[in-house]
Amino acid sequence: MTLESDLARHGLSLRGVAAVTADERKRYGFAAGERAIALVGNVGSSYWSAFTAAPEFTDGEPDPLDRWSERVAREISDRHPVTPLFPFAGPPWYPFQQWARRAEGIGTSPLGILIHPRYGLWHSYRFALLGAAFDAGSPGDAVASPCVACAGKPCLDACPVDAFDGEGYAVDACAEYLDNTWLAACHDGGCLARLACPVATELRYLPAQGRFHLRAFLGARAHPPAAQTNVP
């Protein structure tokens, strides 16, 4: 089974490949033969059916998506000559956002979420695989972020508590509103600011996935992990 088909069984794909830099080799202790970092993630709700069928989804333990990602990555690394790296299990905290920029044409949106020219805000990176080389094509030419030509920037006007001003994310205002407003539309299908983006609307997360991310965000606020909190 190829690496790509192994990942596809879980609704995941090789999103792009970044070359290991000399600084990263030294900082993280990567071996000489480990020359490439392949980012693995989802496009739209591609992993949702695999994840919701997995034991982690219903076992009642914390961080089901991270635990599922970790198990899948470790099983795959048993079958292929790769080492898994995770964005949620530091230290070390690996620079996934930097790797994403080097691996594929991706930019930062006013929401702080990485925006992809074709996938919009509807994608994420679950883990990376470190190895000698990957056959994942080239990242292609740099493409301007869709945000550059987005005149109205509707994402900045959709949040009921104006959590985004184009400069940052008022995470406390968002969480307080969600905690105190159980009829808020965000609870039904996810963050309204993210849903307001006109790019790749066909890839919007399923409402159940949107609700899952929002609950995970509120749960992480109650039991904060060491890593930075993301937009739900």
Binding residues for ligand SF4 restricted to 59-78, rule: CB under 6 A: none
CB atoms within 10 A of CB 185: 13
Q: Give how far Cα 8 sits from Cα of 46, 86, 152, Å.
A: 9, 19, 36
Measured from the CB atom, the residue of 10 and 123 that comes closer to ligand SF4 is 123
> Which residues contact residue 50 at a Cβ distance below 8 angstroms, ignoring those fewer than 6 apart?
9, 10, 11
Question: Could you tell me the smallest distance in angstroms from the CB atom of residue 89 to ligand SF4?
Answer: 25
Contacting range for ligand SF4; rule: CB under 6 A; set: 22-30, 39-47, 122-130, 145-153: 145-153
| Residue 191 interacts with ligand SF4 (CB under 6 A): yes or no | yes
Question: Could you tell me the smallest distance in angstroms from the CB atom of residue 232 to ligand SF4?
Answer: 5
DSSP letter for 17, please.
E
DSSP letter for 206, please.
P
| Residue 161 interacts with ligand SF4 (CB under 6 A): yes or no | yes
Measured from the CB atom, the residue of 154 and 168 that comes closer to ligand SF4 is 154
DSSP line for 102-136: HHSS-EE-TTSSEEBTTTBT-EEEEEEEEES----
The one-letter amino acid code at 7 reads L
| Residue 218 interacts with ligand SF4 (CB under 6 A): yes or no | no
Measured from the CB atom, the residue of 138 and 180 that comes closer to ligand SF4 is 180
Report d(CA 53, CA 82) in Å as an integer.
25
Which residues, listed in sequence order, are joined to residue 123 by a DSSP beta bridge?
43
Report d(CA 67, CA 65) in Å as an integer.
5
Measured from the CB atom, the residue of 137 and 168 that comes closer to ligand SF4 is 168
Contacting range for ligand SF4; rule: CB under 6 A; set: 27-35, 45-53, 62-70, 157-165: 157-165
Measured from each CB, the residue nearest to ligand SF4 is 150
Q: Among 154, 168, 207, 224, which residue sits at the site for ligand SF4 (rule: CB under 6 A)? A: 154
Question: Could you tell me the smallest distance in angstroms from the CB atom of residue 174 to ligand SF4?
Answer: 3
Binding residues for ligand SF4 restricted to 104-143, rule: CB under 6 A: 109-111, 115, 121
Measured from the CB atom, the residue of 13 and 109 that comes closer to ligand SF4 is 109
Report d(CA 162, CA 145) in Å as an integer.
23
Measured distance between the N- and C-terminal CA atoms of the chain, rounded to whole angstroms: 35
DSSP letter for 152, please.
S
Binding site for ligand SF4 (CB under 6 A): 109-111, 115, 121, 146-147, 150, 153-155, 159-161, 163, 174, 177-178, 186, 191-193, 197, 199, 232
